[in-house]
Amino acid sequence: MVGLPEVGGLMRFWRLVLVLAALSPGMAGAQNKKLDPHLVKKANGGDAQSQFLVGQAYATGTGAGQNDATAAQWYQKAADQGYAQAEFSLGAMILAGRGVEQDPQRAAMLLNRAAQQGLAPAQLALGGLYDRGQGVPQNHAEAAGWYRKAALQGLAEAELNLGVMYQTGEGVPQDFTQAADLYRRAAEQGNATAQFNLGLLFDNGEGVDKDYAQAAAWYRKAAEQGVARAQFNLGAMYAKGDGVPVNFVEAYFWLDLAANSWSGTHQQEAVDVRDKVGARLSTTDLMAAKQRAKDWLDSRKK
């Protein structure tokens, strides 16, 4: 089976969610509603939580016109009072240059303040900065430490990143068993990359007993979420009968999805394998597999 050789950075979770991780339940569903005058009064009076919620409204456009600069101003007021969610949200905006000047060092300072208060998304984000050396000196051991803190709170993306570090031996001693355990925790929360990574460990017998059926099951979960690497590996398993019955129609379907998702060398590899499988199909089965793949891809665009 083929897994990408870049088991490091490309398989980590790098996106920094500016809003959703810190979204107060009280603000959910507030789309198109006006800001509560009482909330604004409290914010103007210096209440940190209210200042954060007003900033959140401007950041998301829920309850106020979307305005990153105004959001950042309100986040700053709350962050100046040590409100962790505001420190995280403002740090994320500064890191991205949304509404404020991009400044990785200042972002790292704010994320550190929020992370020190135990906010898991900030711990994940700070770990990412140390992992990449962005705004702070690169330090894989420090990155692993912050990922661990967030992972202990059940944050799937942190479990994934820490698992990658155990798999590669970056910042921690290499330990495939630990990697498999962390991937499983994240995979069971639906994290597609962790599902693929766990499938790859079962495929190769690293940290777990080699088990093609388990590999195929985890590849399928990731493939159904659009992970091209998982689609390719699952298609190859159907073509070879590893962990699943030989089924060239299924093989063609998954390989065609991978071929349409990848680019460059990997795309050509998927095309070559797909076409070899297609040569084994009747015209009717080939057309059916192509149509099924097209329908699947079209459904993802909606």
Q: Are 258 and 270 in contact (CB under 8 A)?
A: yes
Domain segments of the chain as ranges: 230-302
Task: Summarize the chain as % helix, strand, coil (round to 5).
Answer: 70, 0, 30
Query: Would you state the pLDDT for residue 33?
Result: 61
Q: What is the pLDDT of residue 79?
A: 98
Instruction: Name which of 21-30, 166-175, 198-207, 238-247 the model is least confident about.
Output: 21-30
Tens-digit pLDDT profile for residues 183-203: 999 999 999 999 999 999 999
Compute CA distances 22 → 94, 130, 190, whole Å: 16, 21, 20
CA distance 62 to 66: 8
Token pair 């076409």 in the structure block, residue: 275
The C-alpha atoms of residue 292 and residue 286 are separated, in whole angstroms, by 10
pTM of this prediction? 0.87
